[in-house]
Structure 1
Amino acid sequence: MKIAKLTAGAAVAALALSACAPGSSQDKPATKPGGTVQTGVPEGNVELDLIATPESGAAMKEIIPAFEAKYPNVKVKYVDTSYEDYNKSLNLALASDTSPDIALLNVVGTSVKDGLVLNLQPYAEAYGWESAYPTGQLNQWRVAADGTTLGSGDLYAAPASFSQVGLYYNKAKLAKLGVEAPTTFEELEASLAKAKEAGETPLQLGNKEGHAAFPIQLIGQSTDGPASYAKWAFGEKGSSFDTAGNQKGAQALLDWGTKGYYSKDANGIDLQGAVDKFVNGDGVFFVDGSWDSKKIGDGLKADAGFMPFPGAKATAIGTSVAYAISARSENQQAAAAFLDFLRTPEAAKASFAQGFMPSDASTVTAEPGTLSADLVAAWNKVNADDGLIGFNNNATATMNDTLVAETQKLIGGKQDPAGFIKAVQDDWTKTHG
């Protein structure tokens, strides 16, 4: 899932390379547009195929009609697939003869290295994206020449909006416990203990899909500091997962389970199951992303609260909801125009309604005292502290699977914190050395 600002521009010439099937190798990580890059859409009727997941793509139901109204000769066909199935099948879809033109890119994985997505650097220059977006927000989708190291090199996806993973809380339950929203890790643990004593579920947690990795990462990056922590997530050579912060995070998850702060059957509950439980009053705190804020806000109404993870500096896990163009697309110019449209006020408003943040929060409004206002306040604070870090799950093509397996072992008593950290680092080392 960490989950943006943008002009028109000059033409850029680039060399075209052919796309490759997954697992193949080539001299350059991916293709660039052929010929002269132009902004806007071409003349004549164009149909674009776009694929995404239901959560990230929800805003498309409003964005697509707005784009089609601006460009009547372009029709966009939208299809979504569940998160787990989507990530497993994306490269196959991009490599097929029926490849979509535009695809949500949750994880860089091997899509760039295998030449399946278009190098967007020429379009970034033509549309002026680099001067419009904050550097850190584009860097999450920059890939070096090795095809795996993130944070530098050319751009392979364009941001639509941003997610942030932080700490939801039930305001009514906190008031009943007589405590304020925690501002430090120590206050959070004290609140968890008090909730347990009162017979509440202190922390709602669903780990069937590995989301226990979220609290571990949040504790880790708030302890180690965002700048230091980001190096590992980006795949910077010589980085290690064996840090004081990750040790603290893994141990805390284990301890919280021992103390009964979350359900014993957490490994059998998926994320949306945990959301449903939290909305129905089961849980004082819940670590989750802004993508579920609409459901949580609609369910808990005025009792729903959200904040950055407690610590000296505001920190959150997040990345942009970013879209790539297939290297096989025959409509690259129109597809790039659609990516540029994702930065417009219409697109920002549609994304914010679904719980995703625009790069510049001043482009949206939220009623004071609401969950939406909490999201904006958290987003502004995290950005002010430069505390947004990409998902650890994206560090390698296989890291998500590793984190699912290893967090389940940790919760299930079949792994200790040291073994968890070693397994995660071993996966990282296979890709980044």
Structure 2
Amino acid sequence: MKRSLTAAALTAVLALPLALAACSSSDDSSSGSDTGSGDGKSLTIWDYESDDSAMGQAWAKAIEIFKQEHPGVTVKTESQTFEQIQKNAKIILTGDDVPDVMEYNKGNATAGQLASQGLLTSLTDEAKSRGWDKKVTGAIATTAQYDDSGLMGSGDWYGIPNYGEYVTVYYNKDLFKKYGVDVPTSFDDFTAALAKFKAAGVTPLAEAGAEYPLGQLWYQLALSKADRSWVDDYQLFKNDVDWHGDPLTYATDTIGEWTKDGYIAKNAAGLTAEDMGVSFIQGKFPIMVSGSWWFGRLTSEMKDDWGQFSFPGANLALGSSGNLWVVPENAKNKSLAYDFMDITLRPEVQNILGQKGGLPIAGDVSTITDPKVKTFTEQFQDLVKNDSLSFYPDWPVAGFYDQIVSALQSVVNGSKSTDQVLDQLKEQYESGKDDILNG
């Protein structure tokens, strides 16, 4: 059973000797080159997926298989939140009592930063010997490899993804029908739909400014005015980014305008992703722009009829591989961790992901029978095929997630102008970029 780590517990953890995970160990039968120092009797896993999500159900199957193949090994799962891991991973992983394998966010500012600081185990030998490098390829592999500076796309393997993800537009079909709103096929149609809902007294967009969702909408708006070279400049530092150029100015202006127009609720600045998702599930908002990680939960919890469509008027979309399985450098049972990671790439686990809308990277789409799930999966495959996945706005530099959250809260609150917000973000971005490139 998963155990949630509360904020109070986390505070205690950071004040004490970081005793979050029981000591565990290596399994000498594994091919891992770095096996840890434990006794092979336990495996501690951290993740932040809900039990009823596609990932949660797939991981449960992987744990079941692991237990069958490792009799006598106790599996301990710790359910974290994205925010807990995002803010405290560096502090936690410098200790001796760490998980053996953990789900972690990908990108320069997260997995890349920890890899460059020596806090994650290189998986290059395991990737080659176990064939992970044959299953995880192309754009999906970009987020699994990091160079010495922590830049993604080359260097050693430090994580293994086993699913994909992307941001889409979820919509409540019942509310669209009730208010006579057509599903938009262009950006003009989309804004017209927002206006029609607002005219009927309905705030159209479920949003959350206290966590990632508003930043993802902001980045998607920027992508609607951008191309692949802009993404490479922003994410991979190929060239300098014009922070007052059309993409970012347009995105920031639009967030402000949509708040003034009532398309985004003014109290959204203080809402979490969970608040946003629950309100959409309850039928309080007709539209939610967010990630594929909500798909399974909507399927199981939402009573109203719903669907999804690509963000209109954009050739690029937020998305990438899913989160990574990483092995902390101080983990005590690395071989068991490698075995578990390997199981998550097997067909029996991958096909659960596919059937539940989890976008497997090594699954068989022909096994998907649900039409909604199959369409959802095929849309992701098209994004991969067309090289349209453009990662996430906070990835380039360390600390940028919090900066984006803070900056966009000020846009919603009306406390800062577009130029002030972009100057704030530019300063943090350029400073972080310099730290990465010049050490």
Shift of 1:141: 2.6
Any residues of structure 2 matched to 1:83-94 within 5 Å, and which? 83-94=82-93
Match of 1:395 in 2: 396
1:111 aligned partner, one-letter code: L
1:100 aligned partner, one-letter code: P
Shift of 1:222: 3.0
Shift of 1:290: 1.6
Match of 1:126 in 2: 129
Are the equivalent residues in 1 in contact too, given 2:357–2:377 (CA < 8 A)?
A: no
TM-score of the pair, normalised by structure 2:
0.82
Query: How large is the RMSD of aligned CA atoms in angstroms?
Result: 2.8
Query: How far apart are the structure 1 equivalents of 2:182 and 2:268?
Result: 26
For the structure 1 residues 403 and 380, does the alpha-carbon distance in structure 2 shift closer, same or farther, using more than 3 Å as the test?
A: same
Across the two proteins, how many residue pairs are aligned to each other? 397
* 1:53 and 2:54 are equivalent in the alignment: no
Match of 2:231 in 1: 229
More off after superposition, 310-319 vs 107-116: 310-319
Are the equivalent residues in 1 in contact too, given 2:167–2:318 (CA < 8 A)?
A: yes
TM-score of the pair, normalised by structure 1:
0.83
Query: How far apart are the structure 2 equivalents of 1:260 and 1:380?
Result: 35
For the structure 1 residues 312 and 253, does the alpha-carbon distance in structure 2 shift closer, same or farther, using more than 3 Å as the test?
A: closer
Match of 1:382 in 2: 383
For the structure 1 residues 52 and 83, does the alpha-carbon distance in structure 2 shift closer, same or farther, using more than 3 Å as the test?
A: same
Per-residue Cα deviation, 1:187-207 (whole angstroms, up to 9, x for no partner):
211111111122222111121
1:38 aligned partner, one-letter code: S
Are the equivalent residues in 2 in contact too, given 1:232–1:240 (CA < 8 A)?
A: no
* 1:255 and 2:250 are equivalent in the alignment: no
For the structure 1 residues 378 and 418, does the alpha-carbon distance in structure 2 shift closer, same or farther, using more than 3 Å as the test?
A: farther
Any residues of structure 2 matched to 1:4-403 within 5 Å, and which? 38=31, 45-55=40-50, 58-59=56-57, 60-72=59-71, 74-106=73-105, 107-108=110-111, 110-146=113-149, 148-236=150-238, 238-301=240-303, 303-313=305-315, 315-352=317-354, 355-360=357-362, 362-363=364-365, 365-370=367-372, 372-403=373-404
Match of 1:12 in 2: none
Match of 1:25 in 2: none
Query: How far apart are the structure 2 equivalents of 1:240 and 1:327?
Result: 38
For the structure 1 residues 355 and 403, does the alpha-carbon distance in structure 2 shift closer, same or farther, using more than 3 Å as the test?
A: farther
For the structure 1 residues 419 and 84, does the alpha-carbon distance in structure 2 shift closer, same or farther, using more than 3 Å as the test?
A: same
Query: How far apart are the structure 2 equivalents of 1:409 and 1:353?
Result: 40
Runs of at least 5 residues in structure 2 that lack an aligned partner in the other structure = 1-25, 435-439
Shift of 1:64: 0.8
Match of 2:420 in 1: 419
For the structure 1 residues 350 and 158, does the alpha-carbon distance in structure 2 shift closer, same or farther, using more than 3 Å as the test?
A: same
Are the equivalent residues in 1 in contact too, given 2:292–2:358 (CA < 8 A)?
A: yes
1:402 aligned partner, one-letter code: Q
Shift of 1:364: 6.5
Shift of 1:254: 0.8
Query: How far apart are the structure 1 equivalents of 2:228 and 2:205?
Result: 24
Shift of 1:178: 3.4
Query: How far apart are the structure 2 equivalents of 1:376 and 1:188?
Result: 23
Are the equivalent residues in 2 in contact too, given 1:41–1:333 (CA < 8 A)?
A: yes
